[in-house]
Amino acid sequence: MIVTSSGKETIKIQRADMSVINKLIDICRKCFPTSLKHNVPREIARKRWAILISSPSLETYIIMVENKTVGFYTINIDVNGYARERARAPFVDKFAFYIGQISCLIAHPSHIKHIIEILRNRLHYSQKEALKPNSSQIQASTIDKTAWGELQGILPEYQGKGLAKHMQKFILQRCIDLNKHIIAGNVKVNNLSTRSLLESFGYVATSESPAGGIIYKKPLP
């Protein structure tokens, strides 16, 4: 845990555990209102977060202001390990999650437009990649030394207060402590605030992602 002061407020960053799952769900729903993944029925969302928090390949940290959980950051510290975990996941877990997405889509048909945009971006990406002699990917030899920012969010009413900077500093130091050489993440093209934040910390845009975002990478000392 780290504790710091920003003006008159006390800010804490600590590892998430099962007790904060409902808070993580609520933050995701406020930060990503058009995402099927984060607006599935609560029981399915709880199951997904339980899997993420218990994964040995992931670390999720929460940021608190005056003991109120207002944001989080999930980092993948073992890319290959997490891929193996997902491949071994029981079919019932995968099935329940996709059923949850379908039920969410039925309840919120407005999400269809968002899905069409994602599919369009993926098609555009595939067409561009087909024209390249070599895809821009992280080399296999460096994957074990790469940390990947999976997901992050700050409650809308707490954005613009420097909390993302506090979290980013913490995550970078954590990656250094883990002897990682690179930290990377995928950012949506229109997420200008996050792009600006990453660039201020020395991240460089290196390629497009299949979902139409931008892959940012930063070498670590």
Residue 219 belongs to some domain of the structure: no
pTM of the shown model: 0.80
pLDDT in tens, 80-97: 898 888 888 777 666 655
Q: What band does 3 get if pLDDT is binned at 50, 70 and 90?
A: low
Q: Is 20 helix (H, G, I), strand (E, B) or coil?
A: helix
Residue 111 belongs to some domain of the structure: yes
Residue 9 belongs to some domain of the structure: yes
Q: Identify the residue whose tokens are 């949506």.
A: 188
Q: Total structural domains in the chain?
A: 1
pLDDT at 7: 62
pLDDT at 5: 58
What contacts 172, CB < 8 A, 6 or more positions away?
A: 183, 201, 218, 220
Average pLDDT over residues 26-44: 84
DSSP 133: S
User: Among candidates 151, 24, 39, which has minimal Cα distance to 100?
Assistant: 39
What phi, psi does 218 have (nearest 5°)?
Answer: -140, 125
Q: What band does 131 get if pLDDT is binned at 50, 70 and 90?
A: very low
Residue 195 belongs to some domain of the structure: no
Residue 93 belongs to some domain of the structure: yes
Determine which of 73-77, 108-112, 136-140, 152-156 has the lowest per-residue pLDDT on average: 136-140
Whether residue 137 has pLDDT greater than 60: no
Residue 150 belongs to some domain of the structure: yes
- 14 strand-pairing partners: 62
What phi, psi does 213 have (nearest 5°)?
Answer: -95, -165
Q: Residue 144 belongs to what domain range?
A: 2-180
Residue 196 belongs to some domain of the structure: no
Distance CA 25, CA 39 (A): 8
Residue 51 belongs to some domain of the structure: yes
CATH of the domain at 166: 3.40.630.30
pLDDT at 48: 87
